[in-house]
Amino acid sequence: MRTLFLATGFWCALSLSGQDLLYMQRGNPGSLLVNPAADVDARVWLSLPSINTTAQTSFAAGDVLGGDLGTLWRQFPSEAAGAIATHDMGLFSMGFKAKKSTFWLGSSLNFEGNALIDRDLVGFLLWGMKDANGDIDLNYDGRFEQTSAVVSARSNLHLGWQREFGSKLRVGATLNATQILGHAVMGFDSLGLRSVDRGNGFNELELYTQGYAAAYTNNALNVNLFDGTFLFDGSKLAKNSLISLDLGGTYQLTKNWMLAASYQGLGFEGRSVLDADTAVRFEGRVPFSGFSYNSSTDTAVNPGGYFDTLLVQIQQLGQTSTGSFAGFGPLQRGDLAAYWRSPKKTHQLGLHYLYRARPTLNYQALAAEYHGFFGRRWQLSASYTQPLRSSVAMRPSVSVHTTLRLAGGLALSLGSSTVNMMPLPVKGANGDLTLGLPRNMDRLNVNVGLHWMLYEKSYRKAAQERRAAKKAKRQERKKARI
């Protein structure tokens, strides 16, 4: 039962890895959101609402299922257990190309949250001061400061420009104005519980903490939950906007090799400071002497009235303050990639370095990618991503993304970064098929988008020239036989 609780209690979240394959996928306006120097191959376009959502946990199914909970938990790969939720929605994007320059305007929403609880704190709640052998060590020192929580919502307006220089170099820039709709955070610099055995049948127990909790809401949003009213004042929305810049570039090094680099989230004024609506500091120590342990009645600590007194003292730790979110900045991502293209540019293989930083998750990764351009009606991309460093434990992932052109200039974009983590059919002891969770499963991701666009004429013109050249060669061979 406890295993089921741990497996499901933290599995309730929504990361951005599913969209990474758009970085070099042609013919999709969504690629400009991740690389302002991307080749969208369009004269004009309009992107309709798109959604990218991911369920990311700090552990995989194999970390908490299929074995003794005590053994599995003490081998836990991350210092904290929990879930990370991100939900990114593109509201609209529209743009056009004029000679060698491309311009676009768009808007998006970003929602995210996480809830992490320190691994040692979970162990203490389950087993108290017991060690791996089930013996109680009254000289206990538990540190629980990895416990944290973040909830954030923001809207974004962006204006982009891209320029081609000859046939080799392409550069792009996007100006972003991000509005913080709401943000709440809780964290600890230190949090722990220390027990000292005095050798006379009594212990001294001390809880120490230093942390904070704060919440901010935009002044433009006035919500009254009691009478169900919602007032929006657009003039106040941009009061605390974060201005940032995205830069990108691609360079055709040789006929078959291309280099690409970009960085998003460059702030003009450094990192912003938001005045919190409510802020509380936790700072202090709560000592308690005279705690006794009676092993003749139970194998677990029987606190009795001790915790009643302790809870009163804990309540006195909270100190209301006028805090702020110092160091609050825009979402950031960095990319560096090299690609080899086939002679006809149908197939593309690449190596891609990724850096991502947002309130709920920071990580670096290396991806091996494939991009197939099967005409303008179908594009297929796939990658294998190996995390290098992350704020929580992350497993390698396999991603797939495809863009299908529909009738009337519409195109549907579908993708996921959890291809190797999908539930698999498993035959039970009685021979019935059931769904089983892969041991490496630590996320669920899907992104869906729809856009309308008119392609550039250069591709069709080049195709017509190739067909004309082939036809001319065939006619020359026929004349040679005659």
Taking alpha carbons only, the member of 153, 53, 98 closest to residue 415 is 53
User: Is 300 within the bounds of a domain?
Assistant: yes
Alpha carbons 373 and 24: distance in angstroms, whole number: 11
Q: Is the pLDDT of residue 370 over 90?
A: yes
On the CB side of 478, CA atoms within 13 Å amount to 6
DSSP 255-317: SSEEEEEEEEEEESSSSB--B-SEEEEEEEEEEEEEEE--TTT-SS---TTHHHHHHHHHHTT
Those residues whose C-beta lies under 8 Å from the C-beta of residue 445, and which sit 6 or more positions away, are: 15, 17, 18, 52, 53, 54, 55, 416, 417, 418
Boundaries of domain holding 38: 2-339
Question: What's the pLDDT at 261?
Answer: 96
In a domain, 408, yes or no: no
The pLDDT > 70 percentage for the chain reads 79
Pick from 158, 168, 100: nearest CA to 456:
100
Most confident of 220-224, 374-378, 468-472: 374-378
pLDDT score recorded for residue 8: 33
Task: Give the span between the Cα atoms of 225 and 246, in whole angstroms.
Answer: 38
Is residue 469 one of the residues assigned to a domain?
no
Tell the burial category of 241 from Cβ atoms under 10 Å away from its Cβ (0-12, 13-18, 19+).
middle
Residue 292 included in any domain = yes
Per-residue pLDDT, 75: 75
Pick 315 or 295 by higher pLDDT: 315
SS (H, E, C) 17-73: HHHHHHHHCCCCHHHHHCCCCCCCCEEEEEECCEEEEEEEECCCHHHHCCCCHHHHH
pLDDT number for residue 5 = 32
pLDDT at 6: 34
Most confident of 47-61, 169-183, 231-245: 169-183
Report the number of distinct structural domains present in the chain. Answer: 1
pLDDT for the residue 371? 93
- The answer to whether 256 touches 173, Cβ cutoff 8 Å, is no
Determine the pLDDT at residue 247.
Answer: 96
Residue 368: pLDDT band by 50, 70, 90 thresholds? very high
pLDDT (mean) for 70-78:
75
Q: Tell me the mean pLDDT in the region 73-90.
A: 83
Task: Give domain status of residue 375, yes or no.
Answer: no
What was the pLDDT predicted at 22?
85
Q: Is residue 162 scored above 90 in pLDDT?
A: yes
Element (DSSP H or E) covering residue 132: none
pLDDT band at 94 (very low <50, low <70, confident <90, very high): very high
Q: How confident is the model at residue 297 (pLDDT cuts 50, 70, 90)?
A: very low
Residue 149 has pLDDT above 80, yes or no: yes
Half-sphere exposure at residue 371, Cβ-oriented, CA atoms within 13 angstroms: 24
Q: 154: closest CA among 220, 73, 82?
A: 220
Q: What are phi and psi of 114, to 5 degrees?
A: -145, 160
User: Which pLDDT does position 198 carry in this prediction?
Assistant: 74
326 three-class SS: coil
For 259-291, the pLDDT digits (tens) are 999 999 987 655 567 777 778 888 888 776 655
Flag whether 143 is in a domain.
yes
With respect to residue 399, please indicate whether it lies within any of the assigned structural domains: no
| Whole-number average pLDDT of the chain | 80
Q: Write down the pLDDT at residue 13.
A: 28
Residue 183: exposed, middle, or buried by beta-carbon count in 10 A (0-12, 13-18, 19+)? buried
Tokens encoding 458: 């250069």
Residue 447, in any domain of the structure: no
